[in-house]
Structure 1
Amino acid sequence: MTATSFRARASRVATAGLLLALFLFPRVASNYWLDVFTSAFFYVILALGLNVVVGFAGLLDLGYAAFFAIGAYTTGILTTVYHVPFLLTVPAAAALAALSGVVIGAPALRLRSDYLAIVTLGFGEIIRITAKNLTLTGSASGIYGIPRPTVFGHALKTQQDFYYLLLILAIVTYLAMRRLEHSRVGRAWKYIREDEDAAAAMGIDPFRYKLLAFVVGAVVGGLAGTVFAVRMTAIAPESFGFMQSVLILLAVILGGLGRLPGVVLGAFLIVLLPEAMREFASWRYFLFGALLIAMMHFRPEGLWPAGRRKMPQSGRAALNGGDGR
């Protein structure tokens, strides 16, 4: 057995063991820790969605919580005002998030990266302020009384129900992102991230692929928002502020841009570290921030940095895996 095959087998065994432990965790954990891990799975989904934009395509999005808010408010309004079943709100939320991604992305992606950051930041604040002032969205008080969902005949009511729901959704999102990463589209994103001019010279349309990344990220954020709404049964504009976008971005950067295992690790860290420091009371966020600064100083590429790959000489080679076939 070669060293490479041994490492691959060891990785598969470790992954299987970790998944088994996560599925058995509710049998031994208290509701408090179930809630913490459920929140971690939720941030895993959001971070994986933002990683498409920031990690794969190399774009800076400072308003990602806006898509999260669009999904949450779509489900909240449809279930409380129009009494639409939860499962029917999911495609509506995804479609509205995708449309919002196109509307903001089409003009913004033609700008330089620093201007793009400003536009996305402004978009995030516009969504939050709009939700805060519209009667339909409950104004500053938000929407309350969102019914708990019934999925395939099973009513989701307990903390354990949402733990398993978010765990399964996190796994599905991870597998989808992994497949996307190794597809023609994923390779095009990476070449655009490394050198946009060179990618364009190889026949890759940077604008089209960047817009696609923006829309994919928006859809993932919108879908996460639907689950957030029914889990919390209440949503308010302040849940989708700028700091929420920063926290999700921090998970991506902390774990390693473009590296899926690192993004998962980063999402867990931003949830678990503050909880581990809870005994320090008011000092815990100061210590958390200091620890993050130290991590970024000593590991600027993230805890699980992505490897660089050499760009192929032709567009066909680029999109077919870099082998020229």
Structure 2
Amino acid sequence: MLKGPQPDKHGVGDAIRSWWNGLARPMQWLFGVPVIALIAILPVWRPPILDTPGTDFGGVMAQFAMYALIAIGLNVVVGQAGLLDLGYVGFYAVGAYTVALLTSPNSPWNKMTESGFFSEDWAWLSCLPIAVAITAFTGLILGTPTLRLRGDYLAIVTLGFGEIVRLLADNLTDVTNGGQGLSQIAYPHLGETEDKPYGVFSAGNTGGNLNSGVWWFWVGMVMVIIALLLVGNLERSRVGRAWVAIREDEDAAEIMGVPTFKFKLWAFTIGASIGGLSGALYAGQVQFINPTGFNVINSMLFLCAVVIGGQGNKLGVIVGAFIIVYLPNRAMSIEIGGQSLGDYKYLFFGLALVVLMIFRPQGLFPARQKLLAYGRQIYQAVRRPSDAPGAGPAPSGARTEVGG
């Protein structure tokens, strides 16, 4: 028998996305700004349902902002362009060590001496563009010879890159101070008073609801918003459409005239620069780094945030980053058999990934590309009158679906 048009099946996430996309840009800002403001006051308000009894909630939110920035950058590489990068922690380390080498007194390249060219109060902010530029250049250098590889081969090369960066930081003791790390890294010297002689961004500012974690969370939020605007504009441009084509079928994209290598290199470089920015944020926040903070386990956690949130959905990966950071800290206060539940985070995330791959492999918030969504609207606009209820017999040659 002939089948009529089937009703569209949309979930709650699709309904929200359709409503949001239907709003004009000023209306999106009208709804978005209050939501951003509400998120910004969370570490100050500290609602009991979200607070983390085992650790400072402001510090947790600061870590979340840093992971959200990492997830956005990695999503460009993995979610948008479809390039499996297992060594993203290497770019994160390059950004962190760039700031540390330029500002730490333990570094031979310290430029905050009397003859240096960095102001002590603004050295961290001055190093941000340098860290981004050096990390982007590192991504360009790594991507040029390796992006002709695909799939597992590319994953192995990037995994090796992350380990090479960590081993160099551990063994170049004359430059990086080896395993002892680099301390007293620069941070913004703002809000210095008698009660806070080193300013609000100092790691020593641990008292009250407006501690250093809250201030770093606000700085991280600004960076996340800037990164979202940049990545969002790229997604809606020719570059974003090329990334989608490469991700879906690289051979078909190349046949259709898309310069795949160039756009893959674009994705790798942009993702690397955002990773360097997050590394610079981390260095200023903790004011001490050593090679152990840049191991392959952290790289897997970054990728886990993207997979759980939904590859290709920049807002979804932010939710994934929140899950990765918040849940272990929330579970720190829960003990089972004398052991903190937060210590089993790798076990829980591993099980969550297995379950997710079985029941929802596209992630919690899968991406729905507008380019593909418009195809449904075009079909509904040009479909034949015979598809409508009560229409006459289909004309000769018309295609119909035959049910069993």
Q: After the TM superposition, which of the residue ranges 199-208 and 289-298 deviates more from structure 2? A: 289-298
- Between 1:79-88 and 1:151-160, the stretch displaced more is 151-160
The Cα of 1:307 is off from its aligned counterpart by 2.5
What is the distance in 2 between the residues matched to 1:99 and 1:70?
A: 11
Change beyond 3 A, Cα 1:211–1:88: same
Partner of 1:322: none
In the TM superposition, residue 86 of structure 1 has moved relative to its aligned partner by 1.8
Q: In structure 1, what is the Cα distance between the partners aligned to 2:101 and 2:185?
A: 9
| Unaligned segments of structure 1, at least 5 residues | 313-325
Cα distance in 2 for partners of 1:124, 1:7 equals: 38
- The partner residue of 2:140 within 102, 117, 128 is 102
CA deviation profile, 1:31-83 (whole Å, cap 9, x unmatched): 81111111111100000001110011000111001011001001001012221
Q: Which amino acid aligns with 1:156?
A: F
Q: Which one has the bigger helix percentage?
A: 1
- TM (norm. structure 1) is 0.88
* Corresponding residue of 1:118: 156
The alignment status of 1:272 with 2:326, answered yes or no, reads yes
* Structure-1 residue corresponding to 2:360: 299
Structure 1: which amino acid aligns with 2:352? L
Secondary structure, in 3 states, of the residue corresponding to 1:18?
Answer: helix
Residue equivalent to 1:22: 39
Question: Could you tell me which of 137, 141, 147 is aligned with 2:180?
Answer: 141
- Is 1:71 the equivalent of 2:95? yes
Distance 1:66 1:287, change over 3 A: closer
Correspondence for 1:162: 216
Distance in 2 of aligned mates of 1:7 and 1:186: 17
2:57 paired with 1:33:
yes
Please name the residue that 2:307 is paired with. Answer: 253
Instruction: Give the counterpart of 1:197 among 247, 251, 261.
Output: 251
Separation (CA, whole Å) in 2 of partners of 1:271 and 1:255: 13
Q: TM-score, normalised by structure 2?
A: 0.71
> What runs of 5+ residues in structure 2 fail to find an aligned partner?
1-14, 105-109, 113-117, 193-198, 203-211, 375-404
Amino acid at match of 2:364: L
> In the TM superposition, what are the counterparts of 1:211-226 in structure 2 within 5 Å?
211-226=265-280
More moved, 133-142 vs 293-302: 293-302
- Write the distance in 2 (CA, Å) between the matches of 1:91 and 1:7: 33
Native 8 Å contact 1:229 1:235 kept in 2: yes
The answer to whether the Cα contact below 8 Å between 1:56 and 1:189 also exists between their aligned partners in 2 is: yes
State which drifts further: 99-108 or 196-205: 196-205
Identity of aligned residues (%): 41
Q: 1:110 to 1:36 in 2, by over 3 A?
A: same
2:363 and 2:165 mapped to 1: Cα distance? 30
Q: Partner of 1:128 in structure 2?
A: 166
CA distance in 2, matches of 1:184, 1:287: 39
Q: 1:5 to 1:239 in 2, by over 3 A?
A: closer
Look up the SS of the partner of 1:277 in the other structure. Answer: helix
Residue 298 of structure 2 corresponds to 244
Among 277, 281, 290, the residue aligned to 2:351: 290
Deviation at 1:150, TM superposition (A): 4.1
CA offsets 1:185-235 (integer angstroms, 9 cap, x no match): 111111111111221122210000001100001100011111111110000
**Aligned partner of 2:256: which letter?**
M
**Greater Rg, structure 1 or structure 2?**
2
Distance of aligned partners of 1:287 and 1:64 in 2 relative to their CA distance in 1, 3 Å threshold: closer
State the one-letter code of the partner of 1:290: L
For residue 289 of structure 2, what is the aligned residue in structure 1? 235
DSSP 3-state at the match of 1:163: helix
Taking a change above 3 Å as real, the CA distance of residues 282 and 293 of structure 1, as seen in their structure-2 partners, is farther
The 8 Å contact of residues 136 and 272 in structure 2, kept in 1 or not, is answered as yes
Flag the 1:311–1:207 CA change in 2: closer, same or farther, 3 A: farther
**Alignment coverage as a number of residue pairs:** 311
C-alpha distance in 1 between matches for 2:251 and 2:186: 50
CA shift, 1:16, in A, is: 4.0
Which letter maps to 1:107? P
Cα offsets for 1:86-107 (capped at 9, x unmatched): 2221222112111111111111
Contact 1:274 1:288 survives alignment (8 Å): no
In structure 2, C-alpha distance between the alignment counterparts of 1:14 and 1:102, rounded to whole Å: 38
Q: Amino acid of the residue matched to residue 301 of structure 1? A: Q
CA drift of 1:22 comes to 1.3
